[in-house]
Amino acid sequence: MFDLVRKHTKVMMSLMFLLIIPAFVLVGVDGFSRITAKGDAVATVANENIGQAEWDAAHKNEVDRIRAQAPNVDAKLLDSPAARYMTLERVVRERVVAEAAKDSHLSTSDARLARELQQSPTIASLRKPDGSVDMDRYRQLAASQGLTPDGFEARVRGQLSSRQVEAGVTDTAFSPPALADVALNAFYERREVQVSRFNTADYTSKVNPTDAEIEAYYQANPKLFQAPESASIEYAVLDLDTVKKSIVLNESDLKSYYEQNVSRLSGKEERRASHILINAPKDMPADARKAARERAQALLEQVRKAPDTFADVAKKNSQDAGSAPNGGDLDYFGRGAMVKPFEDAAFAMKKGDISDVVESDFGFHIIKVTDIKAPKLRTFEELRASMESDLKTQQAQRKFADVAETFTNGVYEQSDSLAPVAERLKLEVKTATQLQRKPAPGVTGVLANPKFLAAVFSPDSLEKKRNTEAIEVGPSQLAAARVIEYTPARTKPLAEVSASVKARLVAIQAAELAKKDGAEKLAAWKVTAPASLPTQVVVSRENAQTVPAPVLEAILQADTVKLPTWVGVDLGPQGYAVVRVNKILPSPVPSGDAAEQGRKQYAQWIASAESQAYYKLLTQRFKVKIKAPHPSVTAGLEAQAE
């Protein structure tokens, strides 16, 4: 079927055009997005699929949000399997809570929606000076999330309804102070213990597996000794820099750009000013604000009569502690450095001018412009390099969509080679050997991109050696690859991995010896305590000392009806521990403020626990199933294969 499509591309494109356009007319952009998102289900809620596309879009939005708040965050962390899975869990939770809201007939009125939008800082940033919302920017905001304005408002409406579901649980959580005190005292209780460790490393010299044992372990665990599948590929990358290299600028366009932008490119004008400030915050009573304005007006009349006394008047009367000692001097500043009313006034004045009383969020200002530093206009040749870079970037951004379409169609239509499209677009065809599904440590860029690797190791790519589709691997960056040679996963011969097999077997047998010795000592010490044990330590959830987490949990769960008591803890590959619990020490009694803070914290824990329990109940009611494998499972399988 796909061969038929490839041979009759133009006919099929015409047919799809006739089919898709009416679909958009009938269901709209938002509806079409919902339809297409149902493929490749990664989870189901109430028998409705959550598709791979929805998961990808949600994770992209989450990554964009985090990068906006923390630009220096490591990109690898944001696109790790664990981070992506957390996004999927959040999408599932949102869908479950939305279903609960619908099931409970909870809705959001138009008035509540309007109030929410009015209070939103994001919407506030879109307001014009007259207070109305800039609808063009509002539509852009919705489009940036793949929505129409109606779709954006429907999403906010749904979020508000979902909040009602969660608030119904968290806002009704109840924790009496007496119960909180008892629970917190038990939670932070301390115990005086002695811990004897039986470490695996101390027993390795006592084991020496035979050749037969090594052979048997190797045969029983072939997946532990596999060489992972790998591929040698050729690939091509289309990005903005590549498009820029193909652009040849017209000299007349460059000169026109210079004439239109020389002022901006030469630098910003700066002003130096001094001011006298009479404080009057917005929440000040009206009578006090009126008095502040009258005082500012009186000072204005004083300095206008004697302009040379401005600095002395500022020192004695200005309430700006930072500038008053310097006669109100604010040094040089450009546009954007001051609050808007102050800036507008300062940049509308001439050198030596004194303003009228200017009102800002801080109070009332009297401004004197003491100097103007105009930028020196730079010549055409001085700005040529930066202008060429700017113009090429602008033209490349406009051209990229067309070139990207050519690239996308080219790798699909001539699927047996990347050379034709690379030659047409002047791209370099690169090669990579021993590429694996999991990127090697230190590898970055295209060869570490999960979507790119998934496409390379897809059945169509491996079996038929066809070009992958054009994969978006970054902003304005597409890549496609073709597998040249594929090596399936294989079990390495015993001769090659015998040292690794023996090391694993030694660790297992040593851990068994440690556990056996520890269990025997525990049984004996319960009858007769040894003459010497390790030094006593006091442990608690707040202070675990050097005690491993499993040992701490065993200590805190030990039956303390009769003391001292003994506990044995199997630490798996790390060995065994024997603990003697000698004494229970109550948690320190907190002071009044600390006690109240602890009760509030406990109330939050209770609310969180009840919310989580309710959510678990909802997942059962709405038959939630996450089909994507958990990263811990995937990581475990990969570790076994290494």
Give one DSSP letter per residue of 340-385, joined into a string: HHHHHHHTTSPTT-B---EEETTEEEEEEEEEEEPPPPPPHHHHHH
Sign of CA dihedral 114, 116, 120, 122: negative
Query: Which ranges of 465-591 would DSSP assign to H, the alpha helix?
Result: 494-527, 549-557
Nearest Cα neighbor of 506 from 132, 210, 88, 181 is 210
Tokens 């004897």 found at:
196
279, 266 contact by CB (below 8 A): no
CA angle (524, 525, 530) in 5-degree steps: 120
- The predicted pLDDT at position 110 comes to 83
Query: Looking at the chain, how many residues does it have?
Result: 642
Ramachandran region, residue 273 (left: φ > 0; alpha: ψ -120 to 50; beta: rest): beta
What are the backbone dihedrals phi and psi of residue 369, each rounded to the nearest 5 degrees, phi first? -80, 120
- The predicted pLDDT at position 499 comes to 94
CATH topology for the 268-373 domain: Chitinase A; domain 3 (3.10.50)
338-355: pLDDT as tens digits: 888 998 999 899 999 999
454, 231 contact by CB (below 8 A): no
94, 162 contact by CB (below 8 A): yes
- The predicted pLDDT at position 632 comes to 66
504, 218 contact by CB (below 8 A): no
How many percent of the chain have pLDDT more than 70? 90
Spell out, as residue ranges, where the chain has pLDDT lower than 50.
1-39, 633-642
Consecutive H or E run containing 398: helix 380-413
Cis amide leading into 564 (omega within 30):
yes
pTM score, whole prediction = 0.51
462-472: pLDDT as tens digits: 988 999 999 99
